[in-house]
Structure 1
């Protein structure tokens, strides 16, 4: 079968993260600017190769001060490291393994993936949808800023949940 390329439809996709704040609540954020593609010769995507890049400065948690802190050298250092990248190394049985690069640190990450199906939209475009989740330790990627409250609580958890909902357009 011939190789097919699919590109991310950004208007129907999202890249979200969740992290505990003071270990009592969860802060949700997202990246608003990203692009990516997958290539496959299989209709069920079992041999899919996926790559994506995210604009680090597009981070949003609906709080300007926190967003600016996340863009600073304390966290993502968006000016020095303008992109986060992911390149898959394998996809099988609902598990997408790949290399995630943040701040020039690359680590292998495994996403649990749910394929939601393929359909043709009203404009004749063939689209496929996926939901993927993973957990990473932010400190593994050089995101080491930390603080402790007067009561001894950690301000930001080391564990970050990644939730990626992607719709692809067949090319």
Structure 2
């Protein structure tokens, strides 16, 4: 059977991250430029042979220009030297119903670590323009310090400014290519 290729539909997809600030509120950020490519053995998306996600670090947007500049600096992503976040999925396993686990390797800066994310398959439809689309909700957590994002500060009261845990959330719509 021929491999089916899928690419992300950027106008119907979003990739965000959430981090605790001062341990009392959550700040949400987005990667405005990203790409997802997937290959499947069947049109039902019950298996995925390859999933590659890339995000442009320079497209980070937290709705605060000063914070975005800091995130792109050497304190965090060091965008000048490492301008891309990359995840290569290598195992897509069904865990029940429309729920899956996607296992792969995440690279931030020059550090690659194994990561598993939860995937909820939303289904496949043909849009009004005849394109076959598949929808997914992806969620997971990483420890930012494992990827060299170690900057932090402490308040006068002893609270940390930025939590180590980063929550990942993506709504991804893929378009069938063949």
TM-score bucket (shorter structure): over 0.9
1:156 is aligned to 2:162:
yes
Question: What secondary structure sits across from 1:62 in the alignment?
Answer: coil
Q: Which residue is equivalent to 2:28?
A: 28
Residues in 2 aligned to 1:36 and 1:163: alpha-carbon distance in whole angstroms: 14
Alignment of 1:1-171 (within 5 A): 1-48=1-48, 49-93=50-94, 94-171=100-177
Question: What secondary structure sits across from 1:140 in the alignment?
Answer: helix
RMSD of equivalent CA atoms: 0.8
Residues in 2 aligned to 1:121 and 1:47: alpha-carbon distance in whole angstroms: 22
Paired residues, number: 171
What residue ranges of structure 1 are gaps of 5+ in the alignment?
Answer: none
Could you list the per-position Cα deviations for residues 132-158 of structure 1 after superposition, in whole angstroms to 9, with x for gaps in the alignment? 101000000000001000011110000
Residues in 2 aligned to 1:3 and 1:111: alpha-carbon distance in whole angstroms: 23
Q: TM-score, normalised by structure 2?
A: 0.94
What residue ranges of structure 2 are gaps of 5+ in the alignment?
Answer: 95-99
Residues in 2 aligned to 1:32 and 1:141: alpha-carbon distance in whole angstroms: 21
Residues in 2 aligned to 1:85 and 1:14: alpha-carbon distance in whole angstroms: 16
The offset of 1:84, in angstroms, is 0.6
Question: What secondary structure sits across from 1:139 in the alignment?
Answer: helix
The offset of 1:44, in angstroms, is 3.1
Residues in 2 aligned to 1:19 and 1:132: alpha-carbon distance in whole angstroms: 17
Residues in 2 aligned to 1:44 and 1:137: alpha-carbon distance in whole angstroms: 33
